[in-house]
């Protein structure tokens, strides 16, 4: 590039000189024009930077980006890669960096692992550019999001029965057969009048109801529902299943019953599951720092 640039500058200077001679300018003016043209046409390099110098009174023009854009390959690796599985995140980090060049930052609040692949851990080594990164975000699974969305939300009897039936596969305690029976019974008894409730010794609640079969005859009955249950679901996409306990609540009023459930500190289960990902990143030999990069 250097020889080619100098030749171009010399050619431009010769042309400018001939034009100046045609105008009958003195020798000193011609020499000044030659030097200005030569300076303007030369590309200078300082380290990795490229620039040209314009005549006095003008600015230095950087063309570093244009030179790099014309290169067959990038000057260095930059950018951010987003991974959807923690195993893919660990694999990518191990291939692209080393423990001496990379820190991994764990943000518990946002549930993210961010690897700064061109960071630097050595105290006396030059600082890295810190602009080449890999990010893994632990996204909540569809099934756990469904349970969180209805957590502590009061539902009418039929709505609750349908919710139980739709998500029966996630319930691990008590048995699915028992919960299915409760859901079907609640759906079948939407027109009855609930009048009593009492706690049983087997950790269940018995709801008493009465229904009018004909104008002259009626029937009474009971529904037993569990006071507690547990779901077994993946907390994160592509993650492992965790057991989360819940308390089943109800309210009687005007002959109707409303239900809701309260998950037992679901945020603790999420933190525990994310901690497992942090431990996985550490086991790969990289330093994991709690915080934001």
Query: Model confidence over 113-146: pLDDT tens digits?
Result: 999 999 987 777 788 999 999 999 999 999 999 9
Long-range own/partner contacts, residues 204-209 (CB < 8 A, 24 or more apart) = 205/248, 205/250, 207/250, 207/252, 207/257
State yes or no: pLDDT of 284 exceeds 60: yes
- Cβ neighbours of 98 (radius 10 Å): 12
State yes or no: pLDDT of 148 exceeds 60: yes
Alpha helices by DSSP H, listed for 26-85, are: 27-41, 64-69
Nearest to 53 by CA among 3, 5, 1, 4: 5
The per-residue pLDDT of the chain, averaged, comes to: 80
**pLDDT tens per residue, range 163-201:** 988 999 999 998 777 777 777 777 666 666 665 555 655
The span from the CA of 133 to the CA of 104, in Å, is 10
pLDDT of residue 183: 74
* Overall average pLDDT of the 39-46 stretch: 68
- Is residue 178 within 8 A of residue 204, CB to CB? The reply is no
pLDDT of residue 48: 75
**pLDDT tens per residue, range 69-120:** 888 998 899 999 999 999 999 999 999 999 999 999 999 999 999 999 999 8
The interaxial angle of helices 176-188 and 157-166, nearest 10 deg, is 150
């Amino acid at each position: 590039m250097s020889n080619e640039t100098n030749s171009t500058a010399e050619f431009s200077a010769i042309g400018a000189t001939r034009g100046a001679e045609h105008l009958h300018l003195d020798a000193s003016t011609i020499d000044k024009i030659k030097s200005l043209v030569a300076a303007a046409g030369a590309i200078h390099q300082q380290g990795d930077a490229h620039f040209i110098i314009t005549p006095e009174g003008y600015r230095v023009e950087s063309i570093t980006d244009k030179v790099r854009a014309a290169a067959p390959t990038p000057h260095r690796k930059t950018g951010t890669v987003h991974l959807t599985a923690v195993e893919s995140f660990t694999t990518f980090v191990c291939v692209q960096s080393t423990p001496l060049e990379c820190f991994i930052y764990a943000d518990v609040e946002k549930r993210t692992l961010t690897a700064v692949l061109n960071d630097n851990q050595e105290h006396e080594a030059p600082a890295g550019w810190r602009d080449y990164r890999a990010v893994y975000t632990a996204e909540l699974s569809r099934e756990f999001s469904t349970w969180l969305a209805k957590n502590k939300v009061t539902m009418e009897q039929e709505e609750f029965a349908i919710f139980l039936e739709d998500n029966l596969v996630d319930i691990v305690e008590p048995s699915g057969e028992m919960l299915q029976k409760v859901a079907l019974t609640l759906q079948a008894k939407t027109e009855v009048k609930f009048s009593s409730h009492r706690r049983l010794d087997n950790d269940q609640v018995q709801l008493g109801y009465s229904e009018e079969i004909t104008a002259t005859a009626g029937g009474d009955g009971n529904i037993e529902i569990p006071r507690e249950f547990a779901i077994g679901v993946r907390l994160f996409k592509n993650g492992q299943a965790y057991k989360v306990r819940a308390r089943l609540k109800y309210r009687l009023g005007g002959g109707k019953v409303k239900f809701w459930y309260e998950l037992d500190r679901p945020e603790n289960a999420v933190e525990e599951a994310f901690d497992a990902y942090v431990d996985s990143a550490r086991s790969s030999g990289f330093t994991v720092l709690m915080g934001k990069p």
